[in-house]
A and B are shown apart, each in its own frame.
Chain A
Amino acid sequence: MTLRQELETEQVRHMDLQGYCLVESETSVRETLAHMRGAGGRTALITRDGELIGIFTERDVMRRVAGTPEMLDGPIDAVMTPRPITILPDTSAADALWLMDDHHFRNLPVIDRQGNILGDMTHAAIIQYLAARFPVEVLNRSARPDQYPSKPEGGD
């Protein structure tokens, strides 16, 4: 099976989709940033009554908040990107990857048919997938590239 076929049969729900935090609509931008920092600087998915209504990413922080501190005490709704493109949990990893690459998306929230938020598909998920898929080539490397032996018996 080629990697292409693998990614076409792999569903996004099997990937690591944990890089996000949930923030309720009308929360202040300042508080949203605190939530994001608590989650290690991850993307905020903005919800109203449990339903996804927007997304607020590092890019939005750069473009709409960092240079204009007066936005900080306004509601997150003013600076989020409303109605982001979402994918289903059984969307193939390949489709998600193409979508991200063709449209320059860095986040694709994963929503099931009932509207429940299951995760956020990112480039990191693809990187993690590839690393675990090819452990001999990717994971099993010396921490310093100059220390990596070139011969099978090592120690050169």
Chain B
Amino acid sequence: MTIDTIPLPQLTRQDFMSDQTVRWCPGCGDYAILATVQKVLPELGIPRENIVFISGIGCSSRFPYYMNTYGIHSIHGRAPTLATGLAIANPDLSIWVITGDGDGLSIGGNHLLHALRRNVNLNIILFNNRIYGLTKGQYSPTSRVGAKTKSSPMGTIEHPINPIGLALAAEASFVARSIDAHTQHLGEVLLQAANHVGSSFVEVYQNCVIFNPNEWVGLDDRRTRDDNILYLEHGKPMVFGKNHDRGIRLNGFTPEVVDLSDGVTETDLVIHDAESTELGYILSNMEYPTPMGVFRRMTDRPTYTDGLMGQIAEAQTKRGVGNLDELYRAADLWTVVPKEQDEPIESHISGRMADELDDEYVDRLAFGEEPAATTDLQERLAEETVEALAAHAPVEVDVHTSLAKAIRQMNTHNIGCVMVTDENDHLIGIFTERDVVMRVAGLADDLAAATVGQYMTPDPVAVRADLPIAHALHLMSLYGFRHLPLVDDDNRPTGIISFRDVVRHLHGVVKGTPAD
């Protein structure tokens, strides 16, 4: 086998998780974005050594530490410049710029603009929480007029930047928006951004639970989001609403919301066209419903790297390979003579900073709404452990057990999953009904000869009994795990929980809550 024909190993999300302790506040939206990126990357089929995450400064900019890829935690606002250099030096890389509303739009606003207009092949993810979180709550370039923050106790008097409008104006060839709490939508948008060749800009509405928890009310709530979000799909009419009963019609250049019942049909609505810059601008200003998805996608533009490399190749064919040293020494050389030291300058500073200034200032802070109180159920999700789910005793089979026997055992015990162990009783795999459907039924001929070890899912995600139920739900909802094996500290099976156990437990909890 030559080196070219060795297939790439199929990566999983765990391959993209680093060993670093994640240092974000509990409940921060950054967690959901991190989990979604780690879920999406394996789908791209790019080896880890060809992926680089580059960030500036901010909470979101801690991202590269948590990705098991190459990464640079760079200078405030300057991530796009390092990324541009890298994209030119090695065009084979998949480069992700992680920035925030402060880092990308204030400190590094200029660099962002030029990376976008040059169409450098980058995926720029801008986490927008409309606040400076890392420095503890000052207003940012995207904070709304009147937002009361630690640096604007009377409300900001500045008009915010519209990141989507800015990216369109900076000629980004891919402009999209999503939100942390809708991980499915976010995953789809990130996948499209990654597959776009050229500068991709994705604004992600992100929840800062500590300093700006109510910013995305209506959009981050499962109950109301579909009534407030317009999901943009190229070539499809702009229908929105939980019941798909409202739409967007253009009245001149102004989009208006119409009810589909009042004699208005889908043919009267605007058809989304991601190739239309004009429509992109109109949508970028829309606040209700909030458009999410791809605003604009241009596929006909060459990337910066292609253009630059093309010119270098052309110059070299015409004039030969250059010599930098010769160029330096070609003309206009002079010598700088050291100057005698001047007398040192004396500075005169007087006066004193008031010690109590800080306290006085903090006392004057007036915050807006308090975050919504957590309910009993939310607390129970976070505090109760999977032990409360009364996990089933594990049914274990040895790795050499025949498939026929394993299936018989599952049927006898009426269970959907067995835990596969080695000779030391360590968990090495699980074998589920889904494995039977996907790999065994109608595919494996001799069930008595085949062993469960050949068909199991090896190295499954296993958890301990003190795991909060919320975390079990996290794993099940983001990655679709239907069974979670429980193990002790020595990786020996102690139980198993399934979707059904979680739902049954919640059923009990919900039954106990008042009906009105």
Give A contacts to B, CB under 8 Å.
2-8, 10, 14, 16, 29-30, 33-34, 36-37, 41, 58-59, 61-63, 65-67, 69, 72, 94, 97-98, 100-101, 106, 123-124, 126-145, 147-155
Asked whether, in the complex, the Cβ of B223 is within 8 Å of the Cβ of A58, the reply is: no
Nearest CB of chain B from residue A62's CB, rounded to whole Å:
6
Nearest CB of chain A from residue B413's CB, rounded to whole Å:
11
Evaluate whether A33 and B515 lie within 8 angstroms (CB atoms) in the complex, with A4-B510, A101-B504, A143-B17 already known.
no
Asked whether, in the complex, the Cβ of A140 is within 8 Å of the Cβ of B31, the reply is: yes
Q: Chain B interface residue count: which class?
A: 35 or more
Inter-chain contacts of A131 with B (CB < 8 A): 183, 473-474, 476-478
Complex formed: what's the CA distance from A72 to B443 in Å?
A: 10
Asked whether, in the complex, the Cβ of A62 is within 8 Å of the Cβ of B436, the reply is: yes
Asked whether, in the complex, the Cβ of A126 is within 8 Å of the Cβ of B503, the reply is: yes
What are the 6 A-B residue pairs with the smallest beta carbon separation, nearest first?
A: A131-B477, A132-B222, A58-B433, A135-B181, A136-B27, A123-B499
Nearest CB of chain A from residue B42's CB, rounded to whole Å:
13
| B87 lies within 8 A of chain A by Cβ | no
Nearest CB of chain A from residue B243's CB, rounded to whole Å:
8
| B434 lies within 8 A of chain A by Cβ | yes
Give B contacts to A, CB under 8 Å.
13, 17, 20-32, 34-35, 38, 66, 180-184, 207, 209-210, 220-223, 225-226, 242, 375, 377-378, 381-382, 404, 407-408, 410-411, 416, 433-434, 436-438, 440-442, 445, 447, 463-464, 467-468, 470-471, 473-474, 476-478, 480, 482, 499-500, 502-504, 506-507, 509-511, 513-516
Complex formed: what's the CA distance from A2 to B473 in Å?
A: 19
Given contact pairs A133-B223, A154-B25, a sample of 10 additional A-B residue pairs in the complex whose CB atoms are under 8 Å apart: A33-B442, A58-B434, A62-B433, A67-B408, A124-B480, A132-B182, A141-B35, A142-B22, A148-B26, A149-B26
**In this complex, what residue of A is CB-closest to B379?**
A137
Evaluate whether A154 and B26 lie within 8 angstroms (CB atoms) in the complex, with A63-B411, A143-B35 already known.
yes
Asked whether, in the complex, the Cβ of B22 is within 8 Å of the Cβ of A61, the reply is: no
Complex formed: what's the CA distance from A63 to B184 in Å?
A: 33
Asked whether, in the complex, the Cβ of B471 is within 8 Å of the Cβ of A141, the reply is: yes
Inter-chain contacts of B26 with A (CB < 8 A): 140, 148-152, 154
Asked whether, in the complex, the Cβ of B474 is within 8 Å of the Cβ of A141, the reply is: yes
**In this complex, what residue of A is CB-closest to B244?**
A13
Evaluate whether A61 and B436 lie within 8 angstroms (CB atoms) in the complex, with A133-B223, A137-B27 already known.
yes
Inter-chain contacts of A4 with B (CB < 8 A): 510-511, 513-515
Inter-chain contacts of A2 with B (CB < 8 A): 375, 377, 510, 513-515
> Which of B13, B34, B377, B442 is A3 in contact with, Cβ under 8 Å?
B377
Nearest CB of chain B from residue A64's CB, rounded to whole Å:
10
Question: B interface, by DSSP: helix, strand, loop or mixed?
Answer: helix
Complex formed: what's the CA distance from A29 to B442 in Å?
A: 9
**In this complex, what residue of B is CB-closest to A104?**
B500
Nearest CB of chain B from residue A87's CB, rounded to whole Å:
16
Inter-chain contacts of A130 with B (CB < 8 A): 473, 477, 506
Complex formed: what's the CA distance from A132 to B220 in Å?
A: 8
Asked whether, in the complex, the Cβ of A140 is within 8 Å of the Cβ of B436, the reply is: no
Asked whether, in the complex, the Cβ of A143 is within 8 Å of the Cβ of B207, the reply is: no
Inter-chain contacts of B514 with A (CB < 8 A): 2, 4
> Which of A100, A138, A148 is B503 in contact with, Cβ under 8 Å?
A100
Complex formed: what's the CA distance from A135 to B224 in Å?
A: 14
Nearest CB of chain A from residue B131's CB, rounded to whole Å:
15
> Which of B442, B471, B503 is A127 in contact with, Cβ under 8 Å?
B503
Inter-chain contacts of A3 with B (CB < 8 A): 375, 377, 506, 509-510, 513
Asked whether, in the complex, the Cβ of A124 is within 8 Å of the Cβ of B35, the reply is: no
> Which of A14, A127, A144 is B226 in contact with, Cβ under 8 Å?
A14
Complex formed: what's the CA distance from A42 to B24 in Å?
A: 36
Inter-chain contacts of A151 with B (CB < 8 A): 26
Asked whether, in the complex, the Cβ of A148 is within 8 Å of the Cβ of B22, the reply is: yes
Asked whether, in the complex, the Cβ of B438 is within 8 Å of the Cβ of A154, the reply is: no
**In this complex, what residue of A is CB-closest to B434?**
A41
Complex formed: what's the CA distance from A65 to B221 in Å?
A: 43
Nearest CB of chain A from residue B12's CB, rounded to whole Å:
12
> Which of A8, A129, A144, A149 is B515 in contact with, Cβ under 8 Å?
A8
Inter-chain contacts of A141 with B (CB < 8 A): 31, 35, 470-471, 474
